[in-house]
């Protein structure tokens, strides 16, 4: 009888194995979530632009609060905002070069050059004379929108994020926060400008990931085998399946008794992929399809239940072995007995 199992916490190894390392490259992946990041980044940048057209009391308060921080902290922030930015970008480039990943190096180059040109172009397009006049009474120097240095740094960091280990990402987030605070304190970027710059860098990085792809972040076959073994399912010869669906990763394996299996691991992009599919169906067929399932566990439970009902009705479908949330990362996993034959899209 197939089972639906809840998440089981497993011991994990320490994340700080190396500070300047890259994640294993199991292949490229274009995430559905990157589409939403592009859209959300553009919307947030537009909101920042609206905020840039006025210098509000809230921005004055934030600027004054940051400016009143202890001098040692402001000096550290100023150093980070100056030479620290250059050093950080050079270090990220060095990591990319040492990894010998053309995609990684190309993405950083596009973020650096493209981000600079895009920001300079936007600075000429976006004009806020009312802001300059209002801010002249409060600030000795009024910055351009969006701030060039912060936008480029954000784009480079967000492009590099999926390629780097967790400690490296945490370090980049810390530096980006320090530079943002320094930008507010030293008027190289008022709060709306800082907000818009980070949003623009985020959107640009997501667009680059859509074009070039990024590491898929899916477990490798050895991890899949180990995770299944933790719920008493022993498998051999685990390999990535040639048949894949957007938002999930499929593997082929053989059970200890010789039964061929198809293992489906649903990642965090599955819900985004499902939403984009519904939008596409609505635009093309005027029918959005089934109701969204917002949780990964809910998705595999629904799929397993549908297969069980189909099997009970006499339809030839893969038998469900288990549906579980397993592994240290809590991957939602559906294990099926593989059946031979053509899929619907292969039939004529």
Given CATH 3.40.50.720, say whether it is the number of domain 218-346: no
Give the number of other Cβ atoms within 10 Å of residue 197's Cβ.
31
Q: Which of 94, 65, 98 is nearest to 184 (CA)?
A: 65
Residue 217 vs residue 45, higher pLDDT: 45
Query: What pLDDT was estimated at residue 308?
Result: 92
What mean pLDDT comes out for the span 89-114? 89
DSSP string computed for 97-115? HHHT-HHHHHHHHIIIIIH
Longest Cα pair distance anywhere in the chain, in angstroms? 79
Return the pLDDT at 208: 94
Q: Which two three-digit tokens encode residue 197?
A: 């710059």
pLDDT over 70, % of the chain? 72
pLDDT exceeds 60 at position 103:
yes
Predicted pLDDT at 7 = 43
208 within 8 A of 178, measured Cβ to Cβ: no
Angle at 255 between CA 233 and CA 243, to 5 degrees: 105
| % of residues, the chain, pLDDT over 90 | 16
Q: Say what the pLDDT of residue 231 is.
A: 86
**Which part of the chain is CATH 3.30.200.20?**
218-346
Query: Residue 16: pLDDT band by 50, 70, 90 thresholds?
Result: very low
Claim: this prediction has a pTM higher than 0.75: no
Mean pLDDT for the stretch of residues 24-53: 80
Segment among 11-15, 162-166, 191-195, 222-226 with least mean pLDDT: 11-15
| CA dist., res. 347 & res. 55, Å (int) | 62
């Amino acid at each position: 009888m197939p089972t639906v199992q809840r998440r089981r916490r497993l011991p994990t190894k320490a994340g700080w194995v190396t500070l300047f390392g890259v994640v294993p490259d199991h292949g490229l992946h274009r995430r559905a979530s990157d589409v939403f990041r592009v859209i959300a980044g553009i919307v947030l940048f537009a909101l920042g632009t609206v905020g840039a057209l006025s210098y509000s009391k809230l921005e004055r308060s934030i600027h004054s609060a940051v400016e009143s921080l202890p001098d040692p902290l402001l000096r550290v922030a100023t150093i980070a905002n100056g030479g620290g930015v250059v050093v950080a970008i050079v270090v990220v480039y060095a990591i990319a070069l040492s990894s010998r990943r053309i995609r990684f190096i190309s993405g950083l180059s596009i973020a650096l050059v493209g981000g600079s040109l895009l920001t300079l172009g936007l600075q000429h397009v976006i004009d806020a004379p009312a802001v300059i006049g209002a801010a002249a009474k409060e600030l000795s120097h009024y910055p351009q929108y969006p701030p060039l240095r912060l936008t480029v740094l954000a784009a480079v960091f967000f492009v590099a994020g999926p390629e780097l280990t967790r400690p490296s990402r945490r370090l980049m987030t810390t530096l980006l926060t320090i530079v943002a605070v320094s930008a507010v304190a030293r008027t190289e970027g008022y709060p709306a400008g800082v907000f818009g710059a980070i949003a623009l860098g985020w959107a640009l990085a997501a667009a680059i990931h859509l074009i070039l792809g990024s590491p898929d972040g899916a477990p490798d076959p050895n991890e899949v085998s180990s995770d299944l073994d933790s719920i008493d399912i022993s498998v051999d010869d685990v390999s990535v399946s040639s048949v894949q669906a957007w938002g999930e990763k499929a593997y082929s394996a053989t059970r200890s008794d010789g039964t061929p299996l198809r293992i489906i691991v649903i990642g965090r992009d599955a819900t985004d992929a499902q939403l984009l599919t519904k939008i596409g169906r609505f635009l093309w067929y005027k029918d959005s399809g089934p109701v969204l399932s917002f949780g990964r566990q809910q998705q595999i439970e629904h799929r397993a239940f549908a297969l069980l009902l189909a099997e009970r009705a006499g339809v030839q479908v893969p038998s469900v072995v288990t549906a579980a949330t397993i592994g240290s990362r809590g991957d939602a996993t559906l294990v099926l007995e593989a059946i031979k034959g053509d899929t619907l899209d292969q039939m004529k």
